[in-house]
Chain A
Amino acid sequence: MKVTESICDPQLDAVRKTCMMVKERHISQRAVTARLKRTPPSGGKTILERMSVTLGQATSFSEQTEWMLKVRDARDRTAFASLFDHFAPRLRGMLMKNGFGAAQADDVIQDVMLSVWRKASSFNPERAEVSGWIFQIARNRQIDVIRKERRPMPEDLAMPESTDIDGEQVLGIEQEVQKLRSAIARLTPDQRDLVQKAYLGELTHSEIQAETGLPLGTIKSRIRLGLERLRFEMKGER
């Protein structure tokens, strides 16, 4: 699998992307220079057809990404129901662990899932993976409920003008997420408990900092490499 090597060197990666794009899609040289990361207009093709490359065994996006894109681009209710069936029980698990009562948890799940439907246009699979995107909506909602305040948020990055997808980038993120999930699965029960507490807001900042048993760096390094690539794209946009 070449991706693992190439993500270590983003510049090399960009070069390799360019070569592949020229070879596989016969785009003009000017278009390549102008738009390294965007695929040509999709013309209503399916997501699979839109994908620029095939990486190893991974030939399609995860079910969750597919559903999310159908919701975003086609307001597909069946896909939304699938997202609900996948995420609502997990959100419930998370909220109950977080000390929410059943009724309050249901209210938050309803708000979060409706936000997923309503804010779908701001989902960008080149920058975030579906679970992480929904996690963040859920955390924000929980904070709203608990503190009744609008929390400070970084300025949004502009959404790309076109909905075409750089499949390689999306698959790259999904691969990193797989690695991250296996890293989490390998934690001891104590470590996992600590990580959950840290990300569910049950540890203060100083507790996170002081907690030597918290494998924050180790875990995050699994995802860091993949997301590092995003930096270079963001630079071009600002």
Chain B
Amino acid sequence: MTDIAHHIPDALLASYVAGSLARPFAMVVAAHVSICEECRANLAAHETVGGALLHDFEPISVSDDLRDRVLGHLDDPFLAEPARPHGNPTYPAPVVEALGDKPPRWRSLGPGAKQCILEAGKAGSVRLLHIAPGFAVPDHTHGGLELTLVLQGAFTDETGRFGRGDLEVADDDLEHTPIAEQGMPCICLAATDAPLKFSSFMPRLLQPLFQI
């Protein structure tokens, strides 16, 4: 495992634990935690805070009826939750699950860039990006929060270098041009809560077509 330099900020982790994080971002957080021990320990810390709050809540008595019902159901047969798939060396488990345990179906985004949309909806979208070495992800400004997790290769932009496991958090203020390093193609998991607006490379009119 390579050293991960860019981790999940606390507010995002707390929001993930609380369940208030939009689904596209939750997938990126879950994917990063799957391959980052530091953030897994951090996540456990946030869950423990949740536990301390639960412990602290003013108890409100529950009916004997509910108690009897729960104790009476202990022997019931139950369906185990379907097993979640395992991750592979490129795609962490939550991505494999979103892919339906199949390889990504890439669609061209123009020279050197491909994408595979995993989910898109009102809460935003999450996709895989595949960028050939030396190519840039089209320069874009953001309408909201964007999380980009590197799964293979590396990219650099105005803010630094991002390799396997690194998470870039971008918002309205950041206009950046990630360029894939030489070597392996750079594969990223990217989530956004707003349609991306390209400031060059691709006419705005084409955005609905490419869903980016």
Contacts and interface: CB of A to CB of B under 8 A. Distances in A.
Interface of A: 77, 80-81, 84-85, 87-94, 96-97, 106, 109-110, 113-114, 117-118, 127-136, 138-140, 142-143, 147, 149, 151-157, 173, 176-177, 180-181, 184-185, 195-196, 198-206, 208-209, 216-217, 219-220, 223-224, 227-228, 230-231, 234-235, 238
Nearest to A184: B52
B156 interface: no
B18 A128 contact: no
B56 A152 contact: no
A219 B53 CA distance: 11
Given A93-B58, A149-B23, A153-B84, 8 more contacts: A93-B60, A94-B57, A128-B47, A152-B30, A177-B52, A205-B22, A217-B10, A228-B41
A118 to B, nearest CB: 6
B20 A205 contact: yes
A142 B19 CA distance: 9
Contact of A80 (B74, B84, B145): B74
A92 B48 contact: no
**A-B complex: 7 closest residue pairs judged by Cβ atoms:** A132-B51, A131-B51, A89-B59, A155-B93, A93-B57, A209-B11, A205-B15
Contact of A209 (B9, B22, B97): B9
Nearest to A97: B57
A157 B87 CA distance: 11
B73 interface: yes
Contact of B10 (A132, A156, A216, A228): A216
B19 A201 contact: yes
Contact of A154 (B1, B40, B50, B53): B40
B78 interface: yes
Contacts of B40: 154, 157, 230-231, 234
A203 B20 CA distance: 7
A195 B14 CA distance: 10
B25 interface: yes
A81 B80 CA distance: 22
A155 B10 contact: no
A204 B15 contact: yes
Contacts, number: 223
Given A118-B78, A152-B98, A181-B52, A90 B59 contact: yes
Interface of B: 1, 9-12, 14-15, 17-23, 25-27, 29-31, 33-34, 37-38, 40-63, 66-67, 69-71, 73-74, 78, 80, 84, 86-87, 92-94, 97-98, 145
Contacts of A154: 30-31, 33-34, 40, 43, 92-94
Contacts of B50: 132, 135-136, 139, 199
Contacts of B71: 77, 80-81, 84
Contact of B26 (A151, A200, A216): A151
A6 to B, nearest CB: 17
Contacts of B98: 152
Nearest to A200: B18
Nearest to A111: B70
Contacts of A142: 19
B48 A129 contact: yes
A66 to B, nearest CB: 16
26 contacts: A85-B67, A89-B59, A89-B61, A93-B58, A94-B53, A106-B66, A109-B70, A114-B70, A131-B48, A131-B55, A132-B51, A134-B54, A138-B54, A152-B31, A154-B33, A154-B92, A180-B49, A196-B53, A201-B19, A201-B20, A203-B20, A205-B22, A217-B10, A230-B40, A230-B41, A231-B38
Nearest to A224: B45
A195 B29 CA distance: 21
Contacts of B1: 238
A199 B14 contact: yes
Given A81-B71, A114-B70, A149-B23, A134 B60 contact: no
Nearest to A229: B41
B62 A106 contact: yes
